[in-house]
């Protein structure tokens, strides 16, 4: 889907990138300064358009390019994660329309921060372990 046909919702894009990076709303709020709180971040994520100077501040706090927030698409993210993460299901994602996308810039950032993947993987393992523990307690 081309950018012209895709309706951009910068707040939703911000939320998805924040979620992918494993950053809580309250953490982002504290990065932005004393006048910010979790509720303001939540309200910001509801906005279709974020003011350019504010978007730049948020991008800096998340350590991603502002353009990545503007142009983020779920399809690109699924293609990237599908092609870089395996989970023994032998599931593959095929990227039919390989094009440059600002999400590629996020991959460069991931490469700079080698621990990100390990932290995300460990968080998923911890979640599975906790769910398994809760399930065992219910039995």
CA separation (Å) from 9 to 20, 47, 58? 17, 7, 15
> What is the rounded distance in angstroms from the CA atom of residue 121 to the CA atom of residue 36?
29
95 torsion bin: left (phi>0), alpha (psi -120 to 50), beta (else): beta
95 vs 131, higher pLDDT: 131
> What is the rounded distance in angstroms from the CA atom of residue 90 to the CA atom of residue 109?
27
> Which CATH fold topology does 10-86+98-113 show?
434 Repressor (Amino-terminal Domain) (1.10.260)
Answer whether residue 43 shows pLDDT above 80: yes
Answer whether residue 93 shows pLDDT above 80: no
pLDDT of residue 9: 86
132 vs 109, higher pLDDT: 132
| Residue ranges covered by each domain of the chain | 10-86+98-113
Which residue's entry shows tokens 């889907």?
1
Answer whether residue 81 shows pLDDT above 50: no
Answer whether residue 103 shows pLDDT above 90: no
pLDDT band at 69 (very low <50, low <70, confident <90, very high): confident
131 vs 89, higher pLDDT: 131
Angle formed at CA 70 by CA 69 and CA 73, multiple of 5 degrees: 75
pLDDT band at 75 (very low <50, low <70, confident <90, very high): low
Instruction: List Cβ neighbours of 45 (8 Å cut-off, separation of 6 or more).
Output: 11, 12, 14, 15, 18, 25
Answer whether residue 85 shows pLDDT above 60: no
């Amino acid at each position: 889907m081309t950018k012209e046909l895709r309706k951009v919702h910068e707040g939703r894009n911000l939320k998805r990138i924040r979620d992918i990076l494993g950053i809580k709303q309250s953490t982002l709020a504290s990065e932005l300064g004393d006048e910010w709180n979790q509720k303001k971040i939540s309200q910001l994520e509801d906005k279709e358009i974020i003011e350019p100077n504010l978007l730049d501040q948020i991008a800096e706090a998340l350590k991603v390019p502002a353009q990545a927030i503007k142009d983020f698409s779920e399809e690109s993210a699924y293609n990237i994660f599908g092609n870089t993460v395996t989970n023994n299901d032998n599931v593959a994602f095929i990227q039919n329309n390989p094009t440059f996308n600002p999400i590629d810039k996020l991959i460069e950032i991931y490469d700079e921060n080698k621990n990100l993947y390990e932290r995300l993987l460990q968080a998923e393992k911890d979640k599975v372990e906790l769910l398994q523990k809760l399930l065992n307690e219910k039995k």
